[in-house]
Amino acid sequence: MSEIASAEGGGGKGAGKGRKKSSTRVDMTPMVDLGFLLITFFMLTTTLSKQQIMQLNMPDKNDKKTDRPEVKESQALTLLLGENDKVFWYTTKEGIPDFHETNFNPTAGIRQVLLEKNKSVKDLVVVIKAMDKSKYINVVDIIDEMHITKTDRYALVEITKEDETLVKKQLASDEAATN
């Protein structure tokens, strides 16, 4: 731990006979070991970051009903997640879809659409459908948008052929407009 090294002065005139020079050397190895043990202990016992949990309501597996709940046309908003981070959305009025295209831009994208619809439609129900070429991150982003805009009622369902046809028509009309 610590040592005291003594050195005797050589003889000679004027050397103090009763006085010895001593130097103290402290061994720091145990202190370093203790420091590393404390660091290891605190790293293993602390929580670096708390896990964030997103509550997702799923239907009961034992429920044999295949019927989907009825939703009024005026309360439904359908979102279609396409490729290249595009979001197509429509509402239906008297069986005719009012089709639009947007993106995930926070100031002028789907968030603004959801905020406007939440203000204007009571008990809004959002139906989310992902196309085959859409990315998984887009599904995560749209669920995040549901939580940001406090849209409580939404459902993830499979896309239908009619929805794919609507998207193809929209893309064809956009391509024709650019040419």
Give the domain ranges of the chain. 73-178
Note the CATH number of domain 73-178: 3.30.420
Q: What is the spatial distance between Cα 165 and Cα 140, in angstroms, rounded to a whole number?
A: 24
Query: What pLDDT score was predicted for residue 155?
Result: 86
User: How much is the mean pLDDT over the chain?
Assistant: 81
Query: What pLDDT score was predicted for residue 157?
Result: 87
> What's the burial of 167, exposed, middle or buried (CB within 10 Å: 0-12/13-18/19+)?
buried
User: Which uninterrupted H or E stretch holds 129?
Assistant: strand 125-130
Query: What pLDDT score was predicted for residue 166?
Result: 85
* pLDDT tens for each residue of 93-132: 887 888 888 888 888 889 998 999 889 888 888 999 999 8
Specify the pTM: 0.61
CA atoms in the 13 A half-sphere facing the CB of 39: 6
Token pair of 139 as six digits: 């599904």
Q: What is the spatial distance between Cα 43 and Cα 65, in angstroms, rounded to a whole number?
A: 50
